[in-house]
Chain A
Amino acid sequence: MRWVDFKESVSEFWTDFKREKTGILGLFLLVLLVFTALAAPMITSPDIPEKWKTFWLGNPKNVPPTWINAFSSQDLAPHLAIEGSELQKYMRSTDSGYVIEIPYNNEYDIPPQDIVFKDVVGKSGGIRKPTLTVKVQRPDGKTVTLLENYKFSGNTVIQLGTNPAVRDALIKWVKSEGIYIDPTQEFQYKTLMDATRVLFGKLNENILEKPEALKGTYIFTFEINVPKDASVNFDNAKIIFTGRTYGWLGTDFKGRDLLAGIIWGSRVSLAIGVSVAVFSVIVGIFYGVTSAYFGGWTDEMMMRFQEFMASIPSLPILILMGTYFGGHIALWQIVVLLVVFGWVGVARVARSMALQIKEQTYVEAARVLGAGTGRIIFKHMVPQLLPYAFAQMALGVPGAVLSEASLSFLGLGDPTAVTWGQILHDAQAAGAATNGYWWWVIPPGLAIALVGFTFVLIGTALDRVLNPRLRRM
């Protein structure tokens, strides 16, 4: 094929394709998906696959996305982390150390789960260690001392909500404000109460049982006292108001940001879907054409083998292969296995199409002129099958994506990659559906369906444009 011819046929194809509205919609979705997949490291961060294996300690666990506040009567506090230069802004040095003063505007019915002072490193040369005192000034003018002279050294994480000293201090404060606490219940409150809700609660007799949120600006003062021979490093320090909601898609049981997982999952899904479809079709086309070209015994043997492959159920064998590879199949292994089972259907159709082409006079002419087998197959027969091949490639993607997701869902996926199937596996293992963690269940499946739908749209449009003779409707 000459270059001019090629250019012409491409532009001809494009004018036809432009008329297919569903095809254009599919193309648009594909561009969007490819963009997401390519830009994943920029949109989120490049170390997500590494981080995905670990617990994300600063994040709340199993919390819904922040935008649900728009739909519910109760406002839940979002996640807020103050770190780096923002933290520096609130910090000043004093004679005896540092003071961090953070104003927090609580406009939510349910305040943050916890307040965490994280990754502050204390070093002390002598006996005296750096100490921390935390005070809160509430909107009603009351000041509560949560923590007093807490000694720390090394890399320290202080969770104010669960710290026993803080809980003690809160109970003591409630008592000192003249609210009666049943002495028999006091211990129970100390262990079971939701400390931040008390801290952010309206001061009345219900503050321990059913705290109501007191809205307004709270000023948290962290006083760090540094003795002479000690030092404190704030390079990685963070102050986190652990949210009752998180980001756009919430978090899972390890505190992982599900949005990042969904974005990264698109890479695996697209890569596997497209490569499996392309390779299966290539193998199938060449298998079918070769079989048809040689005919006779070769054809018989090749078709027997094809029938044999077609009568093997793929999923059970894939699962067995998964256990053979040690419980996890690497991505390239999944591609190879799915191709091994994927070329069968294409080969059958390609053979019957090639049988027709074989009888054409130009093939005979080429043979008479002395063209070799390879030349006839590659130059005269395969190009005729290309339209069918392209449509099949697009139509083969959803099946491959579903197979990969199913294997990952069963826990056989590649552990080094983030995939939608694995997110759903974790969700199933954690009983997300029966516990109502909808934000964990719905998005990955929708994403899988979106990829499948995109390629179905493109495939059917391609089929209509490239194979008008096969149009059945």
Chain B
Amino acid sequence: MGFGKYVLIRILNAIIVLTLVTLVMSALFVKVAEKDLENRIIEQVNAEFQSLQKQGKAPDNPDEWRAQRIAYYRHEYKLDRSYLWRIQYYFKRTITFDFGNTRNPVFGSERDVKAILKGAIPRTIQLFTTAQIIIIFLGILLGVKAAQMVGSLFDRALSVLALIMSSIPMWWFGMIMLLIFAFELGWFPARSIPDPNLTGWAHILDILKRMVLPVSTIVIVSFGAWAWVIRNIMIGTMQEDFIMAARAKGVPERKVIYGHALRAAAPPVVTMVIMGLLGSLGGAIITESVFTWPGMGRVYWIALETNETNLIMGLTFVNVILYLAAVIIADLTYGFLDPRVKVGASQKV
């Protein structure tokens, strides 16, 4: 029962955080949207007035007519309600994923924010998971290797690489990759939007080819730091008594490392991996926009360049949810792998 309660508490916690963050976001958003909507109302009323004039049906008293129309739209857009009422109104809409429409279509002809996000999120996840799997694989391999020979040239080179790479902006490295491999050598396409004329295998190959540059950017910038973290955790574990006991028993070294040590080091490694994943999500999202990969990063770039507030609100909300979900997963895996956490929680309740 202990684990079930632990899960419940973590999820409840995440829901509370989500509610509070969404409230703050709504409060901010109402202010942003107010300016936005007021401009839009004036534009709309002006357009109506001009079309009436063209038809020769211009109202007798333009000022009064204008005020009337503005009042109508203010009511329509709920601008006549109090600030607090609008916050709870936006809060409800956000929680139910109703973000409204954008002014200009994004990705072809789509104007519904929900549909845009639905299209973009899987693409982000596709890119990001591919990169992350490679990073974890490389990180464990190199980290364990470095932990085996602490102080060697390989170990020191890895540390220096991790230091340097951690101070490089990932999106800038993406631009450099574009310069070298797309412009100078021409090996890979510079734009990531797939060719619509291809189908079947050619289509998949096309997508894979376009994924190479963004994925290798994320991998190259992050794997050094990963390997370094795993190295540090492994060094600690390798000094434990049970490792010495396993070695004394005559267990082969490979098995000692991958069977005993890595298994014991798993809980912190898993949390570190997930937390680091979250940390690099921001950078990876910006990196997407460099490669015009049509995921969330690209949507962010478009939303900011064209000032689409509804879209920014939707993106922020979805990002917060993804982040919280990952935090829960990290907590749960930790609790699952490390029995001490569970016991602590279940004893309290």
Q: Is B241 an interface residue (CB 8 A)?
A: no
Interface 0/1 of A416-438, CB less than 8 Å to B: 00000000100111001111101
Interface 0/1 of A399-430, CB less than 8 Å to B: 00110011001111000000000001001110
- The A interface is mostly helix, strand or loop, or mixed, namely helix
Residues of the A chain whose Cβ atoms lie less than 8 Å from the Cβ of B173: 445
Q: Is the CB of B167 within 8 A of A453?
A: yes
Q: Is the CB of B28 within 8 A of A324?
A: yes
Residues of the A chain whose Cβ atoms lie less than 8 Å from the Cβ of B17: 308, 311-312
Residues of the A chain whose Cβ atoms lie less than 8 Å from the Cβ of B171: 406, 409, 424
Interface 0/1 of A69-105, CB less than 8 Å to B: 0000000000000000000000000000000000000
Residues of the A chain whose Cβ atoms lie less than 8 Å from the Cβ of B285: 315
Identify which of A311, A321, A398, A448 gathers the most chain B CB atoms within 10 Å of its CB. Answer: A311
Residues of the B chain whose Cβ atoms lie less than 8 Å from the Cβ of A460: 163
Q: Is the CB of B169 within 8 A of A406?
A: yes
Task: Contacts A321-B28, A406-B283, A449-B164 given; indicate if A435 touches B183 (C-beta within 8 A).
Answer: yes
Task: Contacts A320-B312, A412-B304 given; indicate if A445 touches B190 (C-beta within 8 A).
Answer: no
Q: Is B272 an interface residue (CB 8 A)?
A: no
Residues of the B chain whose Cβ atoms lie less than 8 Å from the Cβ of A436: 179, 183-184
Chain A residue at minimum C-beta to C-beta distance from B165: A449
Q: Is A327 an interface residue (CB 8 A)?
A: yes
Q: Is the CB of B175 within 8 A of A427?
A: yes
Chain B residue at minimum C-beta to C-beta distance from A321: B28
CA gap between A455 and B191 in the complex, in Å:
35
Residues of the A chain whose Cβ atoms lie less than 8 Å from the Cβ of B168: 445, 448-449, 452
Residues of the B chain whose Cβ atoms lie less than 8 Å from the Cβ of A441: 172, 175-176, 179
Residues of the B chain whose Cβ atoms lie less than 8 Å from the Cβ of A412: 304
Interface 0/1 of A441-473, CB less than 8 Å to B: 110110011011101110010000000000011
Task: Contacts A319-B300, A406-B286, A441-B175 given; indicate if A313 touches B320 (C-beta within 8 A).
Answer: yes
CA gap between A452 and B225 in the complex, in Å:
14
B163: which of A308, A406, A456 is its contact (CB, 8 Å)? A456
Residues of the A chain whose Cβ atoms lie less than 8 Å from the Cβ of B289: 428
B176: which of A308, A324, A442, A473 is its contact (CB, 8 Å)? A442
Q: Is the CB of B169 within 8 A of A320?
A: no
Q: Is the CB of A433 within 8 A of B179?
A: yes
Task: Contacts A411-B305, A427-B175, A433-B290 given; indicate if A452 touches B166 (C-beta within 8 A).
Answer: yes
Q: Is the CB of B14 within 8 A of A311?
A: yes
Residues of the B chain whose Cβ atoms lie less than 8 Å from the Cβ of A406: 169, 171, 282-283, 286
Q: Is the CB of B169 within 8 A of A308?
A: no
CB distance from B237 to the nearest CB of A (A): 12
Q: Is A317 an interface residue (CB 8 A)?
A: yes
Number of A-B contacts (CB under 8 A): 146
CB distance from B51 to the nearest CB of A (A): 31
Chain A residue at minimum C-beta to C-beta distance from B177: A433
Q: Is B220 an interface residue (CB 8 A)?
A: no
Q: Is the CB of B166 within 8 A of A456?
A: yes
Residues of the B chain whose Cβ atoms lie less than 8 Å from the Cβ of A312: 17, 21, 320, 323
Identify which of B150, B175, B191, B281 gathers the most chain A CB atoms within 10 Å of its CB. Answer: B175
B167: which of A319, A321, A398, A409 is its contact (CB, 8 Å)? A398
Task: Contacts A323-B32, A324-B32, A452-B167 given; indicate if A311 touches B316 (C-beta within 8 A).
Answer: no
CA gap between A281 and B163 in the complex, in Å:
21
CB distance from B291 to the nearest CB of A (A): 9
CA gap between A351 and B139 in the complex, in Å:
31
Chain B residue at minimum C-beta to C-beta distance from A444: B172
CB distance from B37 to the nearest CB of A (A): 14
Q: Is A372 an interface residue (CB 8 A)?
A: no
Task: Contacts A327-B307, A473-B235 given; indicate if A311 touches B28 (C-beta within 8 A).
Answer: no
Q: Is A316 an interface residue (CB 8 A)?
A: yes
Q: Is B274 an interface residue (CB 8 A)?
A: no
Question: Contact size class for A?
Answer: 35 or more
Q: Is the CB of A313 within 8 A of B304?
A: no
CB distance from A123 to the nearest CB of B (A): 45
Q: Is B2 an interface residue (CB 8 A)?
A: no
Q: Is the CB of B316 within 8 A of A324?
A: no
Q: Is the CB of A320 within 8 A of B167?
A: no
Q: Is the CB of A402 within 8 A of B169?
A: yes
Q: Is the CB of A313 within 8 A of B235?
A: no
CA gap between A409 and B172 in the complex, in Å:
9
Within 8 A of B (CB), among A219-274: none
Q: Is B313 an interface residue (CB 8 A)?
A: yes
CA gap between A314 and B21 in the complex, in Å:
11
Residues of the A chain whose Cβ atoms lie less than 8 Å from the Cβ of B138: none
Residues of the A chain whose Cβ atoms lie less than 8 Å from the Cβ of B313: 320
Residues of the A chain whose Cβ atoms lie less than 8 Å from the Cβ of B183: 433-436
CA gap between A86 and B349 in the complex, in Å:
86
Residues of the A chain whose Cβ atoms lie less than 8 Å from the Cβ of B323: 311-313
Q: Is the CB of A424 within 8 A of B282?
A: no
CA gap between A451 and B167 in the complex, in Å:
8
Residues of the A chain whose Cβ atoms lie less than 8 Å from the Cβ of B152: none
Q: Is the CB of A434 within 8 A of B182?
A: yes
Residues of the B chain whose Cβ atoms lie less than 8 Å from the Cβ of A307: 13
CB distance from B225 to the nearest CB of A (A): 11
Q: Is the CB of B182 within 8 A of A445?
A: no
Q: Is B319 an interface residue (CB 8 A)?
A: yes
Chain A residue at minimum C-beta to C-beta distance from B301: A410
Residues of the A chain whose Cβ atoms lie less than 8 Å from the Cβ of B305: 411, 429
Chain B residue at minimum C-beta to C-beta distance from A424: B172
Chain B residue at minimum C-beta to C-beta distance from A428: B290
Chain A residue at minimum C-beta to C-beta distance from B20: A308
Beyond the given A409-B169, A434-B191, please list 9 additional residue pairs across the A-B interface where CB-CB is below 8 A. Answer: A312-B17, A316-B315, A317-B316, A320-B25, A321-B28, A324-B28, A434-B190, A448-B172, A452-B167
A-B contacts, 8 of them at CB < 8 A, read A308-B20, A311-B323, A319-B315, A322-B304, A327-B307, A406-B283, A428-B175, A433-B176
Q: What is the interface of chain A, defined by CB distance below 8 A to chain B?
A: 307-308, 311-317, 319-324, 327, 398, 401-402, 405-406, 409-412, 424, 427-429, 432-436, 438, 441-442, 444-445, 448-449, 451-453, 455-457, 460, 472-473
Q: What is the interface of chain B, defined by CB distance below 8 A to chain A?
A: 13-14, 16-17, 20-21, 25, 28-29, 31-32, 150, 163-164, 166-169, 171-173, 175-176, 178-179, 182-184, 190-191, 232, 235-236, 278, 281-283, 285-286, 289-290, 300-301, 304-305, 307, 309, 312-313, 315-316, 319-320, 323-324, 327
